[in-house]
């Protein structure tokens, strides 16, 4: 190499040392100084101080929550049941894959169904139906362009397990006095309709959940009834008395007497509202007294002039009790009730797809959907319908995660989380239907 060339190389190396190595050594020296620098800053040329930078930078930025675009039931799917996921995105493929979560093996491939486009949100949506795959395990779904779902299970007897967990949660809540009056009413309704599915694990011939309700009633029996809940409390006691008499007639009779006293003390103005109507139907079924029957029939004009039950639970509770009683009834009033119940069932069955659409769901949250599920259960109890069973199962999948958020309204942390007793009504129906199919 020439002398000039060697000089150029040496000059280049010096430049590198000045621009890279020396600043790096200075930085290393600064870092090594560490606590030797005052936390109040370094002195400036005029003897003042320069404030140091904050040790923890303030970042005004919230990381957005990433959610999958393949939406599944977080609790899983039962073998033999409806197994559908929802898929949404700016672009959708033609097919989807079901993947074994442990091995990573694709075990099933299907074609996306019922694809549609929503211009307002600029999203496509479709459904992935994998009901053909009938093997227990942990899985996830994946789609090209879209991604994959959360992991879920396929399990035999899944609904039985979910139902047992719900019952145990309610038993614990009853023991700890953490249940509301409305929760007790729903438990009793579920037991009245499908008592055979409730377990008696302690072997004393009384279903454990019903026994827990009895303990709750006994523990609260000496407490004053909350103002405004007298009629509802009387209705619950009368329903419980009717159901519990075959296990303990004496306690059931005591509950019925208290129900009559509580109700009569609040009826000086002869109120005609949903709660009073429900109490009247329960008391009439349990006692057969004509005074209760005549007051029930006084509501006839109201029901003739109102479509459905006006979102007032007491009217629907009472209607179901009245059409199921063995006491003499007004047949025309029974017909009005049955027509309204069946009409509601048909309406929900026709509109349920819009209620739980993965992109444009039209509902008012979990409690609203669970009420529709209960209304559908009423219609199904009056006249068993295969389509109603399907709709209720679809409601469950939506509520457990197959929604646009996606949120598990049962086990997840959400402000819209509904009470466990509301889920019990839905789960009881699904378990009972499955048991009937297996017989």
Residue 349, domain CATH = 1.50.10.10
247 and 382, same domain (yes or no): yes
* Interatomic CA distance for residues 241 and 250, integer angstroms: 10
- Per-residue pLDDT band for 107 (boundaries 50, 70, 90) equals very high
Average of pLDDT values for 90-98? 97
User: Does a structural domain hold residue 18?
Assistant: no
151 and 192, same domain (yes or no): no
Average of pLDDT values for 307-330? 91
- Per-residue pLDDT band for 70 (boundaries 50, 70, 90) equals very high
241 and 276, same domain (yes or no): yes
Among 164-173, 179-188, 242-251, 263-272, the minimum mean pLDDT is found in 263-272
200 and 250, same domain (yes or no): yes
Q: Which of 95, 121, 155 is the last residue of a domain?
A: 155
Two tokens at 250?
């004496």
* Interatomic CA distance for residues 251 and 362, integer angstroms: 46
**Cβ pair 231, 275 in contact under 8 A:** yes
User: Does a structural domain hold residue 233?
Assistant: yes
Structural element, H or E, at residue 215: helix 208-220
* Interatomic CA distance for residues 189 and 240, integer angstroms: 9
Residues 6+ apart with CB under 8 A from 208: 167, 171, 198, 199, 200, 201, 202
162 and 139, same domain (yes or no): no
**Cβ pair 106, 95 in contact under 8 A:** no
87 and 173, same domain (yes or no): no
User: Does a structural domain hold residue 106?
Assistant: yes
User: Does a structural domain hold residue 193?
Assistant: yes
366 and 305, same domain (yes or no): yes
Q: Residue 87's beta-bridge partner residues?
A: 70, 126
Which is higher by pLDDT, 256 or 270? 256
Counting Cα atoms < 13 Å in the Cβ hemisphere of 122 gives: 1
383 and 429, same domain (yes or no): yes
The tally of domains found in the chain comes to 2
407 and 323, same domain (yes or no): yes
**Cβ pair 47, 39 in contact under 8 A:** no
> What would you report as the CA-atom Rg of the chain, rounded to the nearest whole angstrom?
32
The closest alpha carbon to 261, from 238, 285, 289, 242, belongs to 238
Among 169-173, 175-179, 257-261, 365-369, the minimum mean pLDDT is found in 365-369
User: Does a structural domain hold residue 54?
Assistant: no
Which is higher by pLDDT, 360 or 30? 360
* Interatomic CA distance for residues 366 and 398, integer angstroms: 9
Q: Which of 104, 139, 155 is the last residue of a domain?
A: 155
User: Does a structural domain hold residue 250?
Assistant: yes
Average of pLDDT values for 429-437? 84
339 and 350, same domain (yes or no): yes
Q: Residue 265 has what pLDDT?
A: 83
Among 50-59, 75-84, 99-108, the minimum mean pLDDT is found in 50-59
- Per-residue pLDDT band for 282 (boundaries 50, 70, 90) equals very high
**Cβ pair 259, 241 in contact under 8 A:** yes
- Per-residue pLDDT band for 437 (boundaries 50, 70, 90) equals low
* Interatomic CA distance for residues 101 and 19, integer angstroms: 52
* Interatomic CA distance for residues 93 and 1, integer angstroms: 63
185 and 107, same domain (yes or no): no
Strand order in the sheet with 84-89: 70-71, 84-89, 123-129, 113-118
Query: Which 3 state secondary structure label does DSSP give 128?
Result: strand
Q: In 35-73, which positions are buried (b, 16+ CB within 10 angstroms) versus exposed (e)?
A: eeeeeeeeeeeeeeeeeeeeeeeeeeeeeeeeebbbbbb
Could you count the other beta carbons within 10 Å of the beta carbon of residue 353?
Answer: 13
Q: Is the pLDDT at 148 greater than 50, yes or no?
A: yes
186 and 266, same domain (yes or no): yes
* Interatomic CA distance for residues 279 and 313, integer angstroms: 12
Average of pLDDT values for 333-348? 94
Residues 6+ apart with CB under 8 A from 67: 405, 406
User: Does a structural domain hold residue 201?
Assistant: yes
Average of pLDDT values for 387-401? 94
Q: Residue 71's beta-bridge partner residues?
A: 86
Q: Residue 285 has what pLDDT?
A: 98
Average of pLDDT values for 347-361? 94
Q: Is the pLDDT at 253 greater than 60, yes or no?
A: yes
Which is higher by pLDDT, 1 or 148? 148
Residue 124, domain CATH = 2.60.40.10
* Interatomic CA distance for residues 364 and 385, integer angstroms: 25
User: Does a structural domain hold residue 2?
Assistant: no
Could you count the other beta carbons within 10 Å of the beta carbon of residue 400?
Answer: 24
Q: Which of 121, 140, 155 is the last residue of a domain?
A: 155
Structural element, H or E, at residue 332: helix 331-355
Measured in whole angstroms, the distance separating CA 97 from the mean position of its chain's CA atoms is: 27
Q: How far apart are the first and last CA of the chain?
A: 97
Q: Residue 312 has what pLDDT?
A: 84
Average of pLDDT values for 222-232? 88
For all residues of the chain together, what is the average pLDDT?
Answer: 85
* Interatomic CA distance for residues 394 and 348, integer angstroms: 12
Q: Is the pLDDT at 320 greater than 90, yes or no?
A: yes
Full residue range of the structural domain in which residue 318 is found:
158-438
For residue range 43-65, list pLDDT tens digits in order: 343 444 434 444 555 545 554 45
* Interatomic CA distance for residues 420 and 186, integer angstroms: 10
């Amino acid at each position: 190499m020439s002398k000039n060339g060697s000089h150029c190389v040496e000059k280049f190396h010096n430049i590198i040392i000045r621009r890279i190595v020396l600043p790096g050594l200075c930085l290393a020296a600064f870092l090594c100084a560490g606590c030797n620098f005052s936390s109040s800053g370094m002195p400036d040329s005029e003897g003042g101080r320069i404030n140091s930078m904050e040790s923890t930078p303030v970042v005004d930025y919230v990381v957005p929550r990433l959610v999958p675009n393949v939406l599944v039931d977080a609790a899983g799917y039962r073998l033999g049941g409806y197994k559908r996921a929802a898929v949404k995105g700016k672009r959708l493929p033609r097919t989807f894959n079901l993947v074994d979560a442990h091995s990573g093996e694709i075990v099933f491939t299907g074609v996306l169904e019922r694809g549609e486009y929503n211009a307002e949100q600029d999203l496509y949506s479709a459904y992935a139906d994998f009901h053909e795959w009938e093997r227990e395990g942990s899985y996830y779904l994946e789609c090209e362009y879209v991604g994959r779902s959360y992991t879920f299970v396929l399990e035999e007897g899944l609904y039985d397990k979910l139902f047992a967990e719900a019952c145990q949660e309610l038993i614990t809540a009853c023991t700890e006095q953490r249940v509301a009056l409305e929760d007790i009413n729903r438990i009793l309704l579920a037991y009245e309709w499908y008592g055979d599915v409730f377990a008696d694990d302690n072997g004393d011939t009384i279903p454990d959940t019903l026994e827990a309700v009895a303990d709750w009633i006994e523990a609260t029996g000496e407490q004053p009834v909350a103002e405004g809940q007298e009629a509802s409390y009387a209705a619950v006691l009368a329903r419980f008395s009717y159901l519990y008499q075959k296990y303990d007639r004496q306690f059931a009779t005591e509950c019925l007497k208290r129900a009559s006293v509580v109700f009569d003390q609040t009826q000086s103005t002869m109120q005609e509202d949903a709660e009073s109507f429900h109490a009247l139907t329960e008391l009439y079924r349990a006692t057969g007294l004509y005074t209760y029957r005549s007051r029930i029939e006084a509501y006839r004009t109201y029901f003739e002039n109102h479509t459905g039950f006006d979102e007032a639970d007491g009217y629907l509770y009472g209607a179901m009790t009245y059409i199921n009683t063995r006491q003499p009834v007004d047949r025309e009033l029974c017909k009005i009730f049955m027509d309204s119940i069946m009409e509601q069932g048909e309406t929900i069955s026709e509109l349920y797809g819009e209620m739980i659409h993965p992109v444009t769901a039209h509902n008012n949250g979990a409690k609203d959907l669970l009420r529709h599920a209960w209304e559908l259960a009423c219609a199904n109890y009056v006249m068993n319908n295969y389509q109603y069973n399907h709709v209720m199962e679809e409601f469950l999948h939506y509520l457990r995660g197959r929604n646009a958020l996606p949120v598990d309204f049962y086990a997840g942390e959400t402000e819209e989380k509904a009470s466990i007793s509301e889920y019990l009504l839905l789960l009881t129906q699904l378990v009972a239907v499955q048991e009937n199919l297996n017989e």
